[in-house]
């Protein structure tokens, strides 16, 4: 698996959901959605896997994340 580096992390209003925009070693971009339960203190876990999609720019990845993830779209 190629390494990826999170370059932007966006939380919903109560910080229970998060979208990470990441860059791969080959300079392509992607995103995934995560959730955490503050009560359990177990950290973040992936709830939607979009990371297999490849985008040429960070903005393109972000725009597609807004199309797929309703709370992120509504935040803007």
Between the CA of residue 56 and those of 3, 22, 46, 66, 75, what are the distances in Å?
16, 11, 23, 16, 24
**What's the pLDDT score for residue 40?**
79
**What's the pLDDT score for residue 37?**
85
| The pair of three-digit structure tokens given for residue 12, joined into one six-digit string | 């919903």
Find the mean pLDDT for residues 64-72.
96
Domain of residue 52 covers 4-75
The total number of structural domains in the chain stands at 1
Q: What digits encode the pLDDT tens for the residues 13-67? A: 999 999 999 999 999 999 999 999 877 778 899 998 899 999 999 999 999 999 9
């Amino acid at each position: 698996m190629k390494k990826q580096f999170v370059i932007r992390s966006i939380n919903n209003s109560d910080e229970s959901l998060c979208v990470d925009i990441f860059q791969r070693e080959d300079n392509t971009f992607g995103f995934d959605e995560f959730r955490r339960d503050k009560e359990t203190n177990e950290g973040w876990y992936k709830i939607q896997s979009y990371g297999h999609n490849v985008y040429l720019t960070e903005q393109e990845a972000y725009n597609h994340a807004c199309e797929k993830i309703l709370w992120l779209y509504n935040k803007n």
